[in-house]
Structure 1
Amino acid sequence: MELIYTKTKTIQKDKSSGFCPGCMHDTVVKLIGEVLEELDIADRAISLTGVGCCGLMMDYIEYDYVQCAHGRACAVASGMKRTNPDKIFFTYQGDGDLAAIGLAESISAANRGENITVIFVNNGIYGMTGGQLAPTTLLGMKASTAPKGRTASEHGYPMHVCEMMDTLTAPAFLARTSCNTPQNVVKTKNAIKKAFQNQIEGKGFSLVEVVTSCPTNWGLEPLKALDYLEDHMLKEFPLGIIRDR
């Protein structure tokens, strides 16, 4: 029998996923690894993360990795890319890391058109640190720091990162995808591949926002979390290509 699907060589073979049941981080990490292998760039790829669930990817990958201070991944990636232009640098960040403490670094890197790739996982809440309100938390969504739910008057509105960056001149590629269905997993992989191909070709800053679920901090079973993502998250954060130059 012909073996059609094999585990990418970029992920450690003796490790099983340690992410929570229903979390989509493991799917995104797998897709990144498949793209790096298919583009034959894994041997010169460097992943940079801040603090949070995204940082757990270090436990599973076979390529190089840099742990940055919380929110500073885009700044570190910018400096490393400028001094090592032949390497492939990408950040892997959550909504708290990229859009809260790291907002200035993220927006500035996009505004400069740094030739890096950014994979942004948006689950609308702080994951590993305890379920606090994030910049992308939906109105009405409860969090440990907003036990009655987010209100516009007290917390402001959910932040739309792709749309914010679309106001800038420099970014080359901005896309919002998800991994809630097989079809969307394929679209996410294609967007990630496009973002890396842009870096290879020197086209500049590319960001792929992946809207995901967080069953643990949403307080929902995995299947119910998928329903919530479909019924609420994707209405606030519609999927699609925002910019492709």
Structure 2
Amino acid sequence: MTVVFKRTKGLTEKPFHYCPGCTHGIIHRLVAEVLEELGVLGKAIGVAPVGCSVLAYDYFNCDMHEAAHGRAPAVATGIKRVLPDKVVFTYQGDGDLASIGTAEIVHAAHRSEKITTIFVNNAIYGMTGGQMAPTTLAGQKATTAPYGRDPKHAGMPLRISEMLATIPGATFVERVSVHNPANIRKAKKAIKKAFEHQLAGKGFSIVEVLSTCPTNWGKTPIESLKWLEENMIPYYPLGNFRNSEEVK
């Protein structure tokens, strides 16, 4: 029998703990496939801080390190500087990276640390109960914003990719989505390019992935995919914001 699809060696056989319809599992697979295809599984080190991805060490079939909430870029920086031959990446959510960890990611990019960040943006705090995040859309309801985010009170949602793209040390910045097969393929290409930037020693790279959170959005998995496409993408447009190969 011809095998047309199988588990990537980049993932363990541990079942995911994520809620039904959550797209963390898709993103995990894309990262794992890229690490396997680039032949760097044996020297990859991932850093997962607090958030829905806190148990990522159970899933990625490479060395993993836990970090305090928001501090993954700092931990990854230390690992990469001590072990420069390793492929170091952080896997962070928006409640982590765009809130308590904002300074960490900005300064890691400013120093052009040779690490890769996978930034999962589902516009809400997932693990802790659906509170409003820096990325929550205007009017979007959350447990701490039952009437919807009010820009007059909370400001507008933070666009991380656009912000980091203004920093010279950020050599690769792209925003992708995983709400349909075509965009999943594009997401994998971007993740691969981000790791290739690290392997080439070009500096800091980040891929922002728009993701769903059916549980905290109060929607079905299918409704969530449609909501992402109709609401998140207009505010968080997909595309490449910085690529060192195009910077003269």
Runs of at least 4 residues off by over 4 Å: none
Looking at structure 1, the residues matched to 141 and 5 of structure 2 have their Cα atoms a distance apart, in angstroms, of 40
Looking at structure 2, the residues matched to 142 and 182 of structure 1 have their Cα atoms a distance apart, in angstroms, of 28
- Residue deviations 1:205-229, cap 9 Å, x none? 0000000110000010111111110
User: Cα distance, 1:79 vs. partner?
Assistant: 1.4
**Aligned residue pairs: how many?**
244
Looking at structure 2, the residues matched to 233 and 33 of structure 1 have their Cα atoms a distance apart, in angstroms, of 25
2:163 is the counterpart of 1:173: no
Which residue number corresponds to residue 23 of structure 2? 24
Q: Which amino acid aligns with 1:220?
A: K
Shifted more, 50-59 versus 235-244: the winner is: 50-59
User: Cα distance, 1:35 vs. partner?
Assistant: 0.5
Which residue number corresponds to residue 106 of structure 1? 105
Which residue number corresponds to residue 155 of structure 1? 154
User: Cα distance, 1:59 vs. partner?
Assistant: 2.0
Looking at structure 1, the residues matched to 15 and 78 of structure 2 have their Cα atoms a distance apart, in angstroms, of 33
Looking at structure 1, the residues matched to 55 and 124 of structure 2 have their Cα atoms a distance apart, in angstroms, of 17
Looking at structure 2, the residues matched to 201 and 58 of structure 1 have their Cα atoms a distance apart, in angstroms, of 26
Counterpart secondary structure, 2:137: coil
- Residue deviations 1:116-170, cap 9 Å, x none? 0000000000001110110100000011111111011111110000100111111
Shifted more, 115-124 versus 75-84: the winner is: 75-84
Looking at structure 2, the residues matched to 98 and 167 of structure 1 have their Cα atoms a distance apart, in angstroms, of 17
Looking at structure 2, the residues matched to 146 and 188 of structure 1 have their Cα atoms a distance apart, in angstroms, of 31
Q: Which amino acid aligns with 2:8?
A: T
Looking at structure 2, the residues matched to 217 and 58 of structure 1 have their Cα atoms a distance apart, in angstroms, of 24
- Residue deviations 1:80-126, cap 9 Å, x none? 11111001100000001101000000000001111000000000000
Uncovered stretches (5+) of structure 2, i.e. residues with no partner: none
Looking at structure 2, the residues matched to 61 and 119 of structure 1 have their Cα atoms a distance apart, in angstroms, of 13
Looking at structure 1, the residues matched to 161 and 118 of structure 2 have their Cα atoms a distance apart, in angstroms, of 12
Looking at structure 1, the residues matched to 168 and 199 of structure 2 have their Cα atoms a distance apart, in angstroms, of 20
Counterpart secondary structure, 1:172: strand
The alignment-based identity, stated in percent, is: 52
Which residue number corresponds to residue 12 of structure 2? 12
Q: How does 1:56-67 map to 2 (within 5 A)?
A: 56-67=55-66
User: Cα distance, 1:4 vs. partner?
Assistant: 2.1
Shifted more, 1-10 versus 210-219: the winner is: 1-10
Looking at structure 2, the residues matched to 225 and 123 of structure 1 have their Cα atoms a distance apart, in angstroms, of 10
Counterpart secondary structure, 2:17: coil
Counterpart secondary structure, 1:238: coil
- Residue deviations 1:168-214, cap 9 Å, x none? 11111000001111011111111111011111110000000000110
Return the TM-score normalized by structure 1. Answer: 0.98
Q: Which amino acid aligns with 2:5?
A: Y
Return the TM-score normalized by structure 2. Answer: 0.96
Q: How does 1:35-184 map to 2 (within 5 A)?
A: 35-184=34-183
